[in-house]
Structure 1
Amino acid sequence: MQNSLLHNRGFLYGDALFETVKILDGKILFLEDHYFRLMASMRILRMEIPMNFTMEFFEKEILNEVKKEQFEASARVRITVFRKEGGFYLPKDNNIEYVISVSKIEKPIYQIENSSYEVDIFKDFYVSKQLISTLKSTNKIVQITGSIYADENGLDNCILLNEDKNVTEALNGNIFMLKDNKLITPPISEGCLNGIMRKQIIALAKTIEGLTVEEVNISPFDLQKADELFITNVIKGIQPVTKYRKKEFETNLSQTLISKLNTKIRLG
């Protein structure tokens, strides 16, 4: 085992946060949203934010790594921020360090693939209905065990519940439900990730005439009554769900929103 891991607080205690960003044509998509979410999360976890950790610094550090790998056209970048080593549950130092990893994305523009995508509920563990659940921390054991469950059962994804048995999110993104011209997604207070793409999709959906957008609780039973279900994250954009239990879904709104999303990026 590498000696650096033996004392790393992210490895030992999950005392770390991360942001996953998408690079397109040498730019970080939704830069401000990613930066301010990371800063807010660090404050919530009482990490000491360095004075030089400005948005410009955040952008420069990420793009430098992208340039080194020659992935400027399109890439997935993860920046992981962790408290400096020392202490047990009580840290000796609230100052931070960080690492950046880069991988290539083969399909840079957001698009929807015409393939089946089946989900079901993951019931073994629940998402806690609290502020910490909304952060991108490195404590993702619910998502890990849920992903294993999905793989074992031939599913493409699973939907997570909170302790009230309400829908919170999917394993790798926020969830939206269309029913009777209402687009519904769980509120952040239900414990779902405060997603960057969630924010973008809510804003874009509000520009569609005849469609209302609501952030309200969703029960597992509501999902079977939906006209459409889809999952959002920054890397994929929108992933339509085609089947939940015995119900099959349309993808019309997903197609409309992905088109609006790509237009916004091009104009951005």
Structure 2
Amino acid sequence: MFNFNGELLEDNTSFLNENNRGVQLGDAVFEELRVLNGDIIFLEDHYLRLMSSMRILRMEIPMNFTMEFMEKEILKCITENDLKEAKQIKFNVFRNSQNDFSISDNTISYFITSKTLKNPFFILNEDSYEVELFKDFYKNSSMLSNLDSNNKVLNVVGAIYAQENDYQDCLLLNERKQVIEALNGNLFVVKGSQIKTAPVTDGCTNSILRKKLVDIINKLNDFEFLEDSISPFELQKADELFIVNNIDGIVSVTKYRKKKFVNAIAKNLIGKLNAAARMSLTKSV
């Protein structure tokens, strides 16, 4: 079952027409969330990010689109039988105008899908995970690049390149050839006692898990945190590279070119990330 504008529909039900702007023009944004036992992890952060994304795209936000409304509409997708399972939720919002560049209708519609997750909380993926730079196309360092929008063609082409070359992921560059993120999430670079990630002004996705991990690292006394541009030359000098996203948690990079990496810091951070997730559930009760 999925939720379309408050109505529950069976999977594979046709509900979009050929003029849908999300399909035709990519005029849509989304937020991915985790639900555990009927509670939404980091709900307030996800809500505020979705509202910010809609404002940046100048969508008309309905008066009833509160955090409580978002929570209620998400939980409609979860039946009593599903409450014990961890769920991945995707909350999509698109503009209602027809598929041209003249905006006759700035109102929005939404649909919400869910699927079961194998792990209730975030995990550390320690499988072999080799990455390479994706240099065919660049991601612009603009505010639009910070959003999760339906325009993911760069990620799709990059994923095909990775598959063709037996990489598990690729690292994206901006137009200044700075490393900004992976196809599959935000990148963190560890060198000695320094932990670094690209600033949002370089064009990386401003994800909630990135925000939470930055908050956690800033509180660690033994490490210096930097939000600064990352040069490709830094990657092979690093002790550790890891990627964070809302579905997998933390993914340790094991190899980049001839360099192999450890994952000690990632192991330390995954427990703290889960503690923050549990705390967000406690606050929402």
Classify the TM-score, shorter chain: over 0.9
Deviations along 1:78-114, one digit per CA (max 9) or x if unpaired, are 0110000325112210000001110000111222233
Deviation at 1:252, TM superposition (A): 0.3
Provide the TM-score with structure 1 as the length reference. Answer: 0.96
What is aligned with 1:230?
Answer: 242
1:27 aligns with 2:33: no
Deviations along 1:128-160, one digit per CA (max 9) or x if unpaired, are 111101111100100010011111111110000
Contact residue 128 and residue 162 of structure 1 kept, 8 A? yes
Contact residue 69 and residue 102 of structure 1 kept, 8 A? no
Match of 2:213 among 201, 212, 223: 201
The 5 A counterparts of 1:156-195 are 156-195=168-207
Q: Distance in 1 between matches of 2:168 and 2:121?
A: 22
What is aligned with 2:92?
Answer: 80
Residue 88 of structure 1 aligns to a residue whose secondary structure is coil
Contact residue 125 and residue 248 of structure 2 kept, 8 A? no
What is aligned with 1:254?
Answer: 266
Residue 231 of structure 1 aligns to a residue whose secondary structure is strand
Contact residue 5 and residue 11 of structure 1 kept, 8 A? no
Contact residue 59 and residue 108 of structure 2 kept, 8 A? yes
What is the one-letter code of the residue matched to 1:150? Answer: A
Deviation at 1:266, TM superposition (A): 2.8
Q: Distance in 2 between matches of 1:114 and 1:162?
A: 28
Q: Distance in 1 between matches of 2:88 and 2:206?
A: 19
Deviation at 1:235, TM superposition (A): 1.2
What is the one-letter code of the residue matched to 1:124? Answer: D
What is the one-letter code of the residue matched to 1:190? Answer: D
Q: How many residues align?
A: 268
The 5 A counterparts of 1:44-193 are 44-67=56-79, 70-86=82-98, 88-193=100-205
Residue 76 of structure 2 aligns to a residue whose secondary structure is helix
Residue 239 of structure 1 aligns to a residue whose secondary structure is strand
Distance 1:267 1:48, change over 3 A: closer
Residue 109 of structure 1 aligns to a residue whose secondary structure is coil
Q: Distance in 1 between matches of 2:162 and 2:239?
A: 23
Residue 17 of structure 2 aligns to a residue whose secondary structure is helix
User: Which runs of 5 or more structure 2 residues have no equivalent in the other structure?
Assistant: 1-13, 281-285
Q: Distance in 1 between matches of 2:112 and 2:15?
A: 19
TM-align CA RMSD: 1.6
Deviations along 1:30-83, one digit per CA (max 9) or x if unpaired, are 111111111011111110000000000001100111237725530101011000
Percentage of matched positions with identical amino acids: 47
Distance 1:14 1:185, change over 3 A: same
Distance 1:117 1:87, change over 3 A: closer
Distance 1:143 1:68, change over 3 A: farther
Contact residue 130 and residue 256 of structure 2 kept, 8 A? yes
What is aligned with 1:263?
Answer: 275
Q: Distance in 1 between matches of 2:37 and 2:220?
A: 28
User: Which runs of 5 or more structure 1 residues have no equivalent in the other structure?
Assistant: none
What is the one-letter code of the residue matched to 1:75? Answer: K
